[in-house]
Structure 1
Amino acid sequence: METATQTEMRQPGRARALLSNQDFTLLRAALASHARATEEPDELARISALYHRLGSFA
């Protein structure tokens, strides 16, 4: 018979963040720069969507 402690020990720990808030800021700046340089509407729409999604994490 298992105890609660034994069951908890087998659970994986909380995942560590891969990116910091500073990383998101840098990625957003790079996307903004790329958006200014592109002329393709489809690519600009994808860049814009990603830019805003990254902003929701920072």
Structure 2
Amino acid sequence: MTEPQRARAVFSTEDFQLLRTAVAHYAREIGELPESSKYAHLLHRLGRVR
């Protein structure tokens, strides 16, 4: 039997910094819209990725 291939990372560490910056900008742009809390939570989760 062959062993399954190891999963490769889709995003680099630098990519997460770019995503955090983009999401933070968008969250500021949409301000108080109902979905803004979802972007705030996403930004928090992205901040935990190292």
- Residues matched between the structures, number: 49
Runs of 4+ in 1 over 2 A off after TM superposition: none
Name stretches of at least 5 consecutive residues in structure 1 with no aligned partner.
1-6
Identity across matched positions, percent: 43
Give the TM-score taking structure 1 as reference length: 0.74
Letter in 2 for 1:50: L
Answer yes or no: is 1:34 the counterpart of 2:18. Answer: no
TM-score w.r.t. the length of structure 2 is 0.84
Aligned-partner Cα distance in 1 for 2:47–2:5: 27
Q: Which runs of 5+ in 2 are unaligned?
A: none
